[in-house]
């Protein structure tokens, strides 16, 4: 059971800032003889979850090693549907077995909290403020945080630790407090709403996720729609994401919802959304400098998130598991243990290779500026719809790529057409940006 203590200047082997997927995974995998403290600013850990909650089979299996994850999976997804910018063209790609799962994310996080080992202490409603270092001390880090519990005044609290882990998201305060650590610089801005209701598009909407390609409407990513259950009632998640510089345009999510209602693609059973949240997702790829002698970044804080797909849950789990192994070695005297961090990440279905491929996709996607270019890409990929899912999981679960799927002789005319439109977008970028992008 989790304990909440208010004893100042207590000593810990490791202090973790952030109690979401990466921080909680790390805490679950550290050895029981270590004394661990987790600090998080939220009222409750299930209060605000910045995630669409979709996980692949490999990520499911990582969860299953320490949590009964199947209790928190309302939908086993076998199909993806891609919708063109005009909402008229749609293709479906399916597999026999689930290739992705939707999760009851708040209750999954709550379960991870409730099952924390006895050597782990959790303090919520506390904001990390920074730390100082004194190498002469057995516990060289003096970590400062302030409590916001029960409208408390901003009173400083302190603990001492041997090591500090930043698991505090894409705009990590731990990273900002240490000039030696890299910081995320490139982001997607996303806004998601959750409604009670039904998806009406396709034959099996309960087993399908939907991705909308928009061009001008949502440059940088697009829209999504996925089924879920809330309190055992049918519901769905609907979201829109754009490059961070266009974040102010995320209000278009309401236009998006209206379009889907007008086209009879969704049915909302209660007007007010159950949940609404916005988040910043790092899309610059894994950061280079994620550790020093007494500090480490993991999860989104370290950039372990798909630069193109913006998928971060697997990176959070893997980096938490790898950190538990290497930090144990470090505390046992192996001063070079963290040197192998990225190599250890690669061992999980070539995850670092996957991130490098995603950086290429992101580079191309960012240069697509018009609906006609997205239409051209849609036409090329739709022809290979039966194999689209072979690459969607990419090196996370399979070792295939989109290029392998699409680069066939019969697709050459469509690819040339797409390439010409892409070149036109690049050449006319400045004109388009001045007309459509508000910084």
Same domain, 148 and 264: no
Structure tokens at 69: 């994850």
Residue 4: helix, strand or coil by DSSP? coil
* Residues 6+ positions from 347 with CB-CB distance below 8 Å: none
What confidence score (pLDDT) does residue 148 get? 78
What confidence score (pLDDT) does residue 45 get? 77
What confidence score (pLDDT) does residue 306 get? 93
Q: What pLDDT digit, counting tens, does each position of 136-146 carry?
A: 999 999 999 99
What confidence score (pLDDT) does residue 431 get? 45
Domain count, the chain: 3
Q: What pLDDT digit, counting tens, does each position of 256-291 carry?
A: 999 999 999 999 998 889 888 888 999 999 999 999
What confidence score (pLDDT) does residue 434 get? 38
What confidence score (pLDDT) does residue 270 get? 86
Residue 320: alpha-carbon gap to chain centroid: 14
Q: Counting Cβ atoms within 10 Å, is residue 260 exposed (0-12), middle (13-18) or buried (19+)?
A: buried
Same domain, 258 and 316: no
Confidence of residue 8 (pLDDT cuts 50, 70, 90): low
Last residue of a domain, one of 239, 267, 282: 282
Q: Which CATH number covers residue 232? A: 3.30.9.90
Query: CA 185 → CA 41, 167, 207, 286, distances in Å?
Result: 23, 17, 35, 11
pTM of the full predicted structure?
Answer: 0.90
Same domain, 38 and 135: yes
d(C-alpha 298, C-alpha 320), whole Å? 7
The counts of H helices and E strands in the chain are: 14, 18
Mean pLDDT over residues 49-69, rounded? Answer: 89
Query: Strand pairing partners for 130?
Result: 144
d(C-alpha 33, C-alpha 162), whole Å? 14
Structure tokens at 370: 């018009």
Q: What pLDDT digit, counting tens, does each position of 300-345 carry?
A: 999 999 999 889 999 999 999 999 999 999 999 999 999 999 999 9
Same domain, 22 and 41: yes
Same domain, 403 and 326: no
Closest C-alpha to 212, from 387, 378, 417: 378
Boundaries of domain holding 174 = 11-47+108-184+286-354
Same domain, 132 and 239: no
What confidence score (pLDDT) does residue 410 get? 83
Same domain, 26 and 141: yes
Q: Give yes or no for a contact between 294 and 163, defined as CB atoms under 8 angstroms apart.
A: yes
Per the prediction, the chain carries an average pLDDT of: 88
Mean pLDDT over residues 429-436, rounded? Answer: 46
Same domain, 229 and 269: yes
Same domain, 43 and 163: yes
Q: What pLDDT digit, counting tens, does each position of 39-56 carry?
A: 999 888 776 666 788 998
Same domain, 254 and 312: no
Q: Give yes or no for a contact between 56 and 99, defined as CB atoms under 8 angstroms apart.
A: yes
Same domain, 316 and 306: yes
For residues 361-394, b (16+ Cβ closer than 10 Å) or e, as one string? bbeebeebbbbbbbbbbbbbbbebbeebbbbbbb
Last residue of a domain, one of 324, 354, 384: 354
Closest C-alpha to 56, from 100, 96, 21, 94: 100
Q: φ and ψ at 271, to 5 degrees?
A: -60, -40
Of 81-85, 147-151, 199-203, the least confident: 147-151
Asked, for residue 66, whether it belongs to a domain, the answer is no
Q: Which CATH number covers residue 176? A: 3.50.50.60
d(C-alpha 159, C-alpha 172), whole Å? 20
Angle between helix axes 57-64 and 313-331 (nearest 10 degrees) is: 40
Asked, for residue 96, whether it belongs to a domain, the answer is yes
Same domain, 194 and 180: no
d(C-alpha 232, C-alpha 333), whole Å? 50
Last residue of a domain, one of 257, 282, 307: 282
């Amino acid at each position: 059971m989790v304990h909440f203590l208010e004893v100042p200047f207590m000593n810990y082997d490791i202090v973790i800032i952030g109690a979401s997927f990466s921080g909680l995974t790390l805490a679950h995998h550290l050895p029981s003889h270590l004394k661990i403290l987790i600090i998080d600013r939220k009222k409750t850990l299930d209060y605000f979850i910045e995630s669409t909650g979709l996980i692949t089979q490999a990520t499911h299996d990582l969860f299953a090693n320490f949590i009964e994850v199947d209790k928190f999976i309302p939908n086993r997804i076998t199909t993806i549907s891609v919708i063109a910018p005009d909402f008229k063209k749609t293709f479906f790609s399916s597999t026999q077995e689930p290739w992705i799962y939707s999760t009851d994310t708040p209750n999954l996080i709550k379960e991870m909290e409730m099952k924390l080992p006895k050597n782990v202490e959790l303090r919520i409603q506390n904001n990390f403020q920074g730390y100082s270092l004194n190498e002469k001390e057995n516990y060289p880090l003096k970590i400062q945080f302030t409590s916001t519990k029960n409208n408390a005044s901003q009173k400083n609290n302190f603990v001492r630790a041997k090591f500090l882990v930043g698991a505090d998201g894409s705009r990590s305060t731990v990273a900002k407090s240490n000039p030696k650590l890299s910081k995320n610089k490139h982001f997607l801005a996303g806004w998601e709403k959750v409604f009670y209701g039904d998806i009406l598009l396709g034959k099996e909407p309960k087993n399908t996720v939907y991705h909308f390609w928009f061009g001008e409407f949502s440059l940088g990513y697009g829209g999504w729609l996925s089924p879920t259950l809330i309190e055992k009632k049918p519901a769905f998640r609907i979201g829109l994401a754009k490059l961070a510089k266009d974040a102010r345009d995320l209000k278009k999510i309401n236009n998006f919802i209206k379009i889907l209602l007008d086209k009879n693609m969704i049915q909302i059973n209660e007007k007010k959304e159950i949940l609404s949240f916005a988040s910043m997702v790092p899309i610059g790829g894994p950061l280079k400098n994620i550790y020093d002698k007494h500090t480490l970044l993991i999860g989104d804080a370290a950039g372990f998130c798909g630069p193109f797909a913006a998928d971060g849950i697997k990176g959070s789990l893997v980096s938490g598991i790898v950190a538990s192994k290497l930090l144990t070695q470090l505390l046992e005297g192996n001063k070079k243990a963290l040197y192998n961090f990225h190599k250890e990440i690669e061992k999980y279905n070539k995850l670092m290779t996957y991130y490098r491929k995603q950086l290429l996709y992101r580079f191309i996607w960012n240069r697509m500026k018009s609906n006609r270019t997205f239409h051209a890409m849609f036409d090329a990929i739709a022809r290979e719809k039966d194999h689209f899912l072979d690459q969607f999981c990419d090196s996370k679960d399979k070792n295939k790529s989109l290029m392998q799927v699409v680069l066939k002789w019969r697709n050459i005319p469509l690819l040339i057409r797409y390439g010409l439109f892409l070149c036109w977008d690049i050449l006319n970028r400045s004109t388009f940006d001045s007309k459509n992008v508000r910084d």
